[in-house]
């Protein structure tokens, strides 16, 4: 059997004579077969291979998936040679399942790669084929340990975790998993014959003798994605059709541009591609971008541009010939080249999540504002990138000087065309071709009524969000006498209202008594940092993530000092390996009134009254009736000298619940931050300096034993003014995208900082300005201005914008209608922002043919239904023109 097997293998395969690349490549069988069928007309021996079936090791009887797992240190299986399998692979369903692979030599791999990169187009360009960098980046090595099992005509294969990079071992576990369909490997390289012959002199150069029983072979894996098989069984042909569906806007469906484009790109949309006939997760543009550290804003913008139809065609084609290295306004072509390389990697068949480090470094070099790893605005990056790509790809090498003529007494159409021709005479790039439109801007002087009309280009529309009338705010109301526990109230106030509006709405919500008032304070780090006492202060000073407390006081509280209690408890922690204890602040400050002349006993009893609602009764549940004790009742248990009627007995509330003794709590006068202990407050002794201040601060130190008797978590809970949540939900109020567009186009006066110089008055005037859409681009980018800025605050608008998906009709908003072009658009991408101002997270939703959308969340790409793409997180919308 040994000799027979050796003779069959040696007769049926021959080693390539070229010494350029003697490595063994592991490729999808269908990819190899397509090239062979197209380049070979006969069934010569050179096209015949040996079929091996993958089986579990003979010593293992359990499920294979329990062995070939990334949690095990090694992967093991056998390759059994099938009798009478010397054929060219034409019979049955070989290669159709997506679980068939081929072993080919370096020369064979290069020949197949050459065919797949369209040699006819390369010949027309007069270029000699060579493996591109994109091809080589899809090749990775895998170390295999082989042993010859002659008694079963098999090869024993082991992939050891320590021999390979962890990521490559993980991929191997997916490739060689035998828990579903059978795995078949065709050897066209002839190398397996050499293993059985055991002629070490003829082993491939990447094969070494590891031991008497094992050989170490470095296998070159090509054309396989991170996920070996799409479990839904979708075909690669369907993925290509989806891609073509995206690009069906009246142009060629070829991925590298028009049908006549002389491109040397390796990407072909009419091929079975690199994965048999099974679609691969992560293939044909469904590839994520790794987050390098707060780069989700960049990933979101890039994915939207990388799925813009005309830009994909352009950068997968021969765009390098248009790179302008000498444009002083550009970046030496480096941004365009870096973006083109990144886009090709995202659209490479079988690509795994890409780390955009090179692009990030180029971005940081030419736009230092995006350097480092802070969160940024995806729209600001998009604006820079579109402008940078335009300048790097500007076909105009020497920009002519142009001067606009006087527009008076000439038709708008003539003036607009002249402005546009002047613009494209200096700016001519694929970005201008695809993304730029034209405004009509009209300025009117308020004094002399002079009218000035200009026609300016635009790259995107920045639409305001019509403000809603109200703002939702959540505050916590705390009693200043301990009569009721804290309660949170959510109220609606005028969006641009004042503090008096807030207090009025909150007074109604909490049923404030006629003899009561509210003192609002902002709490941060367990202390009050400011009181909001000016009724005329604007609510815009209060941010959504602020935490406010409203103290419920008697109206005459101004006649007596106000005491602010802050709390500390002892906390144990390790310092330099030793267990130590220190005081730590906790809870929200409590506020109450005292008389001008008070003793330490008054301070003690007032505090005990304020914390009474938080005490845990013996049965372990909070009893809110406990808080009905009044300050007067507690004071009644202490005589004028500060001692209790029962001598040494601990004070009790009116409900008979034992309160903590004086020795258990320590009181100190302190500063506003509660950081210092100025003076100890002693029972029965007057508290100094009380009458000199309107407010004074007291620090209360709690022993550990006492904290267990109170619900300190209730004391510490304090909600934010507005909690948007990580995933924004649709609010009750919404606005239409058409409303946003109308707000953008309406006439309004310029601000004082944007005064216009009137050529008639010879003065700067606060003119009125009106914008109109004159010329629409093929790709319309709409930026929703969610982030608002004032002199004192920054806020994000969570307004839900109801935008069209399939039919954005701008015909009624266009002042000049070109009868040759459509004014209707279809949505194909969304850049989303979740969270609050200055933080949060960016993702992208991308349309991928038919009704299928995908959620691009950094390196994770997953399907999402069209019903879920419309959220209040939508930030930048990408539309493409629909043909009439």
Q: DSSP of 284-352, one letter per residue? A: TT---B--SSS-HHHHHHHHHHHT-HHHHHHHTSSGGGG--SS-TTTTTTHHHHHHHHHHHHHTSTTPP
Mean per-residue pLDDT, 118-136? 49
Cα–Cα–Cα angle for 572, 578, 579, nearest 5°?
A: 20
Each residue of 474-488: pLDDT tens digit?
999 999 888 888 999
Contact 463, 500 (CB under 8 A): no
**Active site positions, annotated:** 296, 841
Contacting residues for 514 by C-beta, under 8 A, at least 6 apart: none
What pLDDT was estimated at residue 2?
A: 36
What pLDDT was estimated at residue 153?
A: 80
Each residue of 340-360: pLDDT tens digit?
999 999 988 777 899 999 999
In the predicted model, is pLDDT for residue 599 greater than 90?
no
What pLDDT was estimated at residue 7?
A: 35
Mean per-residue pLDDT, 152-170? 83
What pLDDT was estimated at residue 820?
A: 62
pTM over 0.85: no
Between strands 562-575 and 516-524, the pairing is unpaired
> Which DSSP helix (H) or strand (E) runs through 802?
strand 800-802
Where is average pLDDT lowest: 53-67, 544-558, 780-794? Answer: 53-67
Q: pLDDT band at residue 325, thresholds of 50, 70 and 90? A: very high
Each residue of 51-98: pLDDT tens digit?
888 888 765 444 444 444 445 678 888 888 886 554 444 443 444 445
Q: pLDDT band at residue 236, thresholds of 50, 70 and 90? A: very low
What pLDDT was estimated at residue 432?
A: 94
Q: Which residue has the higher pLDDT, 777 or 248?
A: 777
Mean per-residue pLDDT, 811-837? 85
Query: Which of these, 819, 841, 834, 817, lies nearest to 871 by C-alpha position?
Result: 834
Rounded Cα distance, 650 and 637, in Å: 10
What pLDDT was estimated at residue 797?
A: 82
Q: Where are the beta strands (DSSP E) in 803-848?
A: 808-809, 824-834, 841-847
Contact 515, 486 (CB under 8 A): no
In the predicted model, is pLDDT for residue 551 greater than 80?
yes
Q: pLDDT band at residue 231, thresholds of 50, 70 and 90? A: very low
Q: Which residue has the higher pLDDT, 231 or 789?
A: 789
Q: pLDDT band at residue 847, thresholds of 50, 70 and 90? A: very high
What pLDDT was estimated at residue 84?
A: 59
Mean pLDDT of the chain: 76
In the predicted model, is pLDDT for residue 733 greater than 90?
no
What pLDDT was estimated at residue 536?
A: 86
Mean per-residue pLDDT, 237-262? 36
Rounded Cα distance, 301 and 66, in Å: 41
What pLDDT was estimated at residue 241?
A: 42
DSSP state of 216: E
Contacting residues for 260 by C-beta, under 8 A, at least 6 apart: none
Q: pLDDT band at residue 773, thresholds of 50, 70 and 90? A: very high
In the predicted model, is pLDDT for residue 825 greater than 70?
yes
* 815-823 CB contacts, 8 Å cutoff, 24+ apart: 815/440, 815/772, 815/773, 815/774, 816/412, 816/413, 816/416, 816/440, 816/774, 816/775, 818/775, 821/776, 821/881, 822/881, 822/882, 822/883, 822/884, 823/776
In the predicted model, is pLDDT for residue 697 greater than 60?
yes
What pLDDT was estimated at residue 307?
A: 94
Rounded Cα distance, 207 and 155, in Å: 14
Contact 525, 517 (CB under 8 A): no
Mean per-residue pLDDT, 696-700? 90
Cα–Cα–Cα angle for 829, 831, 837, nearest 5°?
A: 165
Indicate the SS3 state at residue 821.
Answer: coil
What pLDDT was estimated at residue 427?
A: 93
Mean per-residue pLDDT, 502-528? 91
The number of C-alpha atoms within 13 Å of 307 and in the hemisphere containing its C-beta is 32
What pLDDT was estimated at residue 10?
A: 33
Mean per-residue pLDDT, 509-535? 91
- Percentage of the residues of the chain whose pLDDT score is greater than 90: 27
In the predicted model, is pLDDT for residue 728 greater than 70?
no
Q: Which residue has the higher pLDDT, 596 or 4?
A: 596
What pLDDT was estimated at residue 131?
A: 54
Where is average pLDDT lowest: 248-257, 588-597, 621-630, 666-675? Answer: 248-257
What pLDDT was estimated at residue 72?
A: 67
In the predicted model, is pLDDT for residue 583 greater than 80?
yes
Q: How far is CA 630 from CA 607, 633, 637, 661, in A?
A: 11, 5, 12, 18
Mean per-residue pLDDT, 270-280? 29
Q: Which residue has the higher pLDDT, 201 or 537?
A: 537
What pLDDT was estimated at residue 120?
A: 41
Cα–Cα–Cα angle for 539, 542, 544, nearest 5°?
A: 120
Q: Which residue has the higher pLDDT, 323 or 686?
A: 323
Where is average pLDDT lowest: 71-75, 313-317, 864-868? Answer: 71-75
Query: Which of these, 698, 715, 480, 712, lies nearest to 603 by C-alpha position?
Result: 698
Rounded Cα distance, 216 and 207, in Å: 5
Between strands 808-809 and 800-802, the pairing is unpaired
What pLDDT was estimated at residue 616?
A: 85
In the predicted model, is pLDDT for residue 190 greater than 70?
yes
What pLDDT was estimated at residue 795?
A: 74
Give the chain's radius of gyration (CA, Å).
Answer: 37
- Percentage of the residues of the chain whose pLDDT score is greater than 70: 73
What pLDDT was estimated at residue 469?
A: 67
Q: pLDDT band at residue 598, thresholds of 50, 70 and 90? A: confident
């Amino acid at each position: 059997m040994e000799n027979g097997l050796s003779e069959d293998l040696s007769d049926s395969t021959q080693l390539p004579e070229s010494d350029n690349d003697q490595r063994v490549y592991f490729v999808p069988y269908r990819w190899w077969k397509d090239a062979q069928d197209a380049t070979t007309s006969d069934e010569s021996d050179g096209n015949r291979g040996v079929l091996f079936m993958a089986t579990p090791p003979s010593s293992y009887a359990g499920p294979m998936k329990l062995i070939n797992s990334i949690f095990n240190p090694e992967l093991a299986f056998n390759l059994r040679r099938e009798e009478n399998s010397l054929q060219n692979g034409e019979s049955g369903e070989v290669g159709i399942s997506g679980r068939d692979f081929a072993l080919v030599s370096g020369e064979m791999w290069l020949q197949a790669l050459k065919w797949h990169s369209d040699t006819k187009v390369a010949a027309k360009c007069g270029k000699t084929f060579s493996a591109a960098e994109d091809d080589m980046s899809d090749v990775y090595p895998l170390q295999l340990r082989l042993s010859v099992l002659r008694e079963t005509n098999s090869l024993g294969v082991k992939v050891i975790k320590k021999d390979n990079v962890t990521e490559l071992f993980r991929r191997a576990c997916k490739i060689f998993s035998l828990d579903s369909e059978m795995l078949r490997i065709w050897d066209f390289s002839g190398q397996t014959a050499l293993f059985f012959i055991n002629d070490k002199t003829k082993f491939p150069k990447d094969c070494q003798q590891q031991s008497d029983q094992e050989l170490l072979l470095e296998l070159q894996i090509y054309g396989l994605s991170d996920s070996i098989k799409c479990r839904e069984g979708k075909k690669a042909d369907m993925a290509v059709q989806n891609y073509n569906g995206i690009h069906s806007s009246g142009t060629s469906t070829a991925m590298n541009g028009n049908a006549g484009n002389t491109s040397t790109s390796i990407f072909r949309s009419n091929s079975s591609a690199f994965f048999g006939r099974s679609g691969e997760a992560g293939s044909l543009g469904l590839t994520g971008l790794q987050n390098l550290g707060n780069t989700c804003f960049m990933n979101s913008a890039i994915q939207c541009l990388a799925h813009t139809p005309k830009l994909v065609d352009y950068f997968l084609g021969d765009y390098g010939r248009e790179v302008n290295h000498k444009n002083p306004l550009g970046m030496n072509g480096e941004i365009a080249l870096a973006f083109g390389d990144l886009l090709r990697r995202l659209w490479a068949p079988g690509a795994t999540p890409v780390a955009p480090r090179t692009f990030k470094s180029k971005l940081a070099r030419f736009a230092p504002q995006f350097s480092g790893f802070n969160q940024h605005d995806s729209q600001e990056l998009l604006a820079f990138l579109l402008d940078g790509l335009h300048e790097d790809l500007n076909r105009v090498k020497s920009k002519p000087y142009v001067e606009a003529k006087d527009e008076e007494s000439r038709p708008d159409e003539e003036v607009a065309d002249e402005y546009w021709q002047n613009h494209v005479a200096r700016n001519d790039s694929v970005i201008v071709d695809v993304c730029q439109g034209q405004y009509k801007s009209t300025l009117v002087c308020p004094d002399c009524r002079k009218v000035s009309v200009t026609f300016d280009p635009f790259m995107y529309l920045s639409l305001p969000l019509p403000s809603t009338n109200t703002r939702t705010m959540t505050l916590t109301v705390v009693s200043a006498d301990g009569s009721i526990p804290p309660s949170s109230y959510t109220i609606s106030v005028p969006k641009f209202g004042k503090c008096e509006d807030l207090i009025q709405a909150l007074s109604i919500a909490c049923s404030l008594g006629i003899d009561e008032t509210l003192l609002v304070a902002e709490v941060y780090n367990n202390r009050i940092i400011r009181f909001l006492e000016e009724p005329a202060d604007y609510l815009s000073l209060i941010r959504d993530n602020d935490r406010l407390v409203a103290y419920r006081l008697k109206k005459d509280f101004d006649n007596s000092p106000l005491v602010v209690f802050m709390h500390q408890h002892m906390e144990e922690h390790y310092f330099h390996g030793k267990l130590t204890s220190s005081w730590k602040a906790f809870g929200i400050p409590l506020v109450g009134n005292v008389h001008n002349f008070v003793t330490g006993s008054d301070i003690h009893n007032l505090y005990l009254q304020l914390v009474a609602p938080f005490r845990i009764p013996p049965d372990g549940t909070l009893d809110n009736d406990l808080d009905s004790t009044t300050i007067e009742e507690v004071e009644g248990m202490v005589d004028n000298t500060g001692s209790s009627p029962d001598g040494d007995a601990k004070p009790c509330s009116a409900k008979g619940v034992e309160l903590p003794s004086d020795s258990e709590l320590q009181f100190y006068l302190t500063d506003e931050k509660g950081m210092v202990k100025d003076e100890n407050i002693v029972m029965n002794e007057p508290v100094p300096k009380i009458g000199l201040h309107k407010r004074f601060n007291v620090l209360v130190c709690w022993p550990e034993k006492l904290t267990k008797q109170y619900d300190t978590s209730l004391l510490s809970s304090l909600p934010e003014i507005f909690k948007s949540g990580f995933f924004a939900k649709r609010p009750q109020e919404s606005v239409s995208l058409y409303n946003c567009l109308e707000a953008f186009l309406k006439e309004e006066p310029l601000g004082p900082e944007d005064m216009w110089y009137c050529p008639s008055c010879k003065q700067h005037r606060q003119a009125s300005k009106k914008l109109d859409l004159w010329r629409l681009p093929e790709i319309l980018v709409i930026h929703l201005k969610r982030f608002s800025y004032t002199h004192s605050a920054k806020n994000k608008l969570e307004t839900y914008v109801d935008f069209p998906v399939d039919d954005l009709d701008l015909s009624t908003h266009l002042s000049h209608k070109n009868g040759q072009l459509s004014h209707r658009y279809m949505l194909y991408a969304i850049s989303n922002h979740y969270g609050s101002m200055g933080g949060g997270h960016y993702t992208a939703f991308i349309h991928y043919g038919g009704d299928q959308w995908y959620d691009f969340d950094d390196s994770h790409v997953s399907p999402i239904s069209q019903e879920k793409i419309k959220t209040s997180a939508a930030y930048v919308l990408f539309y493409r023109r629909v043909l009439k």
